[in-house]
Amino acid sequence: MEGQEESMTEFERWWLQAEAEAKAPHRGRRNRLAYHQFADHEGGRGLRTLAPIRAGEVLVSVPGRVLMNTRSAMRCPDIGPLVAGRMVRSLPYTAPPSGGPSASPVLPAIRYSQPVIHTVLSCDASQDPFCQLPTTFTTSLFWSDDELKESQSEQFIGYGTFEPTLSDFWWASSIINTRSCYIDIAPSIQDHNTLVPFADFLNHANVDAFISYGKHGNEPLIHLYGFAIPDNSEEIYNFVDPLQVDVCLREEKDACLQDASLLTGLMGCSLYVTHMNVNRFYAWPSGELSWNFDVALRVYLLDEDEFVRERKHEKLLVDEEVALNKARKRIEFVINLATMLLSAYPTTLEDDQLLMQQLEQQIGKSESEGGAVDADGADEQRRKKRRKNEGQEEEEAEAEAAPTTTGWWARRCALVLRMGRKQILSNVLHRARNELAQFEATSSA
C-alpha cells in the first residue's frame, strides 16, 4: 500500500500543476471529486464526491493538453503517419480468414493503441505520473488458458499477429477499453477514444462517483472492461451455429436468409459492435428466441418440396400456414438444442451457484486478512519488465511480458458469464416445453 500512496501523491502533484497551467475556462474551476481507494470488491481505485452535486453541475474539468488520443498523436512525427493510415505496408498484421470480417487498411485497434504505446514507452514516468498507467487487467486478454476454458462452451480460436509489440498491444488495448472516454475530436477523425487523466478513476455505480458503460451483456463487458454483472438484464445467449445437423438444401436456404439479412454476423463477429447487431441468432433472458432465429428455423425445417414451392410464391418468410405446420417440429428442435447445450457444460447451474458462494467467501476472507493484490506493485514490476525487454531477444521478451491477471477475479467473471448463459438456456428449455404442452392441448381439442 505504501507504493500505491506514493504513486498517488506524485499523480496529485502533477495534476495540480496541470490545472494551474491550464487556460480558461479550466483555470480556477474546482473539481467536485477526489481520489479514493475503495475495497477491491467495490471497484478499487475511484473517485468520490467532495460535496453534494446538483443536476447539470460540472463534476470534473480536465485540461485539454493532457488528453491522449489520435489527434494528439498525429502531431508526433514518429507515429503520425501510422495513425493517419499512411503506413499500411509496414504493418505486419495477418488479415482475417476467408469468410471473416473484412480487413480495413489499418486495423482500428492497432491504430488507436499506437498513441498510448508510443507516449508511455517514451515518457519519463517521474516527470509525467499519468504515464504510470496500470499494467495488469481483468479483461479476458489477460486471462490464462485455464481461465478462458472455464468461460467457454464453444471454442473458436482465430490466429493473428502484430509482431513488433504484441505484449504492448495487449496492454494498450486494455488501457483504452477500460479507461478511455468517447470525445468528438474532429469531423475527419473516426477514432474518438481519449484517455482523460483523473476522470478515468470514475467507476461503475455503487457508493462512488461513476460513469455509464451503456447497455451490454456480460461477454462484451468482460472483454472490453474486465468485469461481469450477476443477473444482468442485458445478457443474451448467442447461438453461434445452432444448426450443426443435416439440413436439406442448406446452401440454398443460407443464401435465401442471407438475402433477407437474417444471417448477419454469423460468419464473423466483432466485440466493438453492439452485440445485438453481431449475431442475430440469440435468446433473451426470458428464454424467448430472437425473431431472426425463429424465422430461420422455420425455413431450415422445410423439406425440399415445401422450400421450392414457398420460395416460388415468395411466401417463404411470411407464410403463417407454413409456420403452423412446422410449429411442433420447431419446438422439438429448440428443446433438443437447449438440452444438448446445457448437457455440454461440465457443471450444473446449481453447482456453479455453490462454487460462487465458496469463491465469495474466499475473497472476503482474503480481504479481511489483508491478502488483497497490490495492484501498484504488480504494475511497477510490469513496467520494469517492459523496459528490460527493450533490446532483448524476442522470445525472452514475449515470455517476460506474458499477460497475467488476478486469478480469483477472472474465475468470478467466468462463473458469472457461465451462470448467465445456463440460466438463459434453462429459460429457453422451460419456455419451449410450455409451448409444446399448449400445442398438444390445442391439437387434441
Q: Where in the chain is the domain with CATH 3.90.1420.10?
A: 229-367+404-444
C-alpha–C-alpha distance, residues 145 and 232, integer Å? 25
82-133 confidence digits (pLDDT tens): 556 544 434 444 344 444 444 443 445 555 566 566 665 555 555 465 666 6
Pick the more confident residue, 172 or 432.
432
Which whole-number Å values give the CA distances from 154 to 414, 420, 427, in the listed order?
14, 15, 20
pLDDT tops 70 at residue 359: yes
Average pLDDT over residues 234-253: 76
Q: pLDDT value at position 96?
A: 42
Average pLDDT, the chain: 67
Continuous segment of H or E residues that includes residue 335: helix 327-343
The confidence band for 411, taking pLDDT boundaries of 50, 70 and 90, is confident
Q: Residues near 344 by Cβ (< 8 Å), separated by ≥ 6?
A: 153
- Percentage above 70 pLDDT, the chain: 46
Q: pLDDT value at position 442?
A: 80
Q: pLDDT value at position 167?
A: 72
Q: pLDDT value at position 150?
A: 65
Q: pLDDT value at position 265?
A: 46
User: Which set of grid coordinates corresponds to residue 234?
Assistant: 442485458
397-407 confidence digits (pLDDT tens): 444 444 444 57
Average pLDDT over residues 363-383: 55
Which of 169-173, 225-229, 339-343 holds the top average pLDDT? 339-343
DSSP states of 120-188 as a string? HHHS-TTT-GGG-------SGGG--HHHHHHH-SS-------BGGGHHHHHHHHHHHHHHEEE----TT
Q: Which of 31-40, 288-297, 365-374 has the lowest mean pLDDT?
A: 365-374
Pick among 3.90.1420.10, 3.40.50.720, 1.10.8.60, 1.10.357.10: CATH of 229-367+404-444: 3.90.1420.10
pLDDT tops 90 at residue 432: yes
Q: What is the value of pTM for the model shown?
A: 0.53
Average pLDDT over residues 276-281: 57
Pick the more confident residue, 191 or 170.
170
Average pLDDT over residues 240-259: 74
Q: pLDDT value at position 212?
A: 62
The confidence band for 434, taking pLDDT boundaries of 50, 70 and 90, is very high
C-alpha–C-alpha distance, residues 200 and 181, integer Å? 8
49-63 confidence digits (pLDDT tens): 777 777 777 776 777
Are the C-beta atoms of 283 and 424 separated by less than 8 Å?
A: yes
- The SS3 assignment for 308 reads helix
- Percentage above 90 pLDDT, the chain: 7
User: Which set of grid coordinates corresponds to residue 357?
Assistant: 458462494
Short-list 304, 236, 299, 228, CA closest to 265:
236
Which whole-number Å values give the CA distances from 350 to 120, 216, 355, 364, 428, in the listed order?
46, 25, 9, 21, 17
pLDDT tops 50 at residue 264: yes
Q: pLDDT value at position 196?
A: 74
Are the C-beta atoms of 330 and 301 separated by less than 8 Å?
A: yes
C-alpha–C-alpha distance, residues 401 and 238, integer Å? 33
The confidence band for 294, taking pLDDT boundaries of 50, 70 and 90, is confident
Q: Which of 63-72, 153-162, 280-289 has the lowest mean pLDDT?
A: 153-162
Q: pLDDT value at position 431?
A: 94
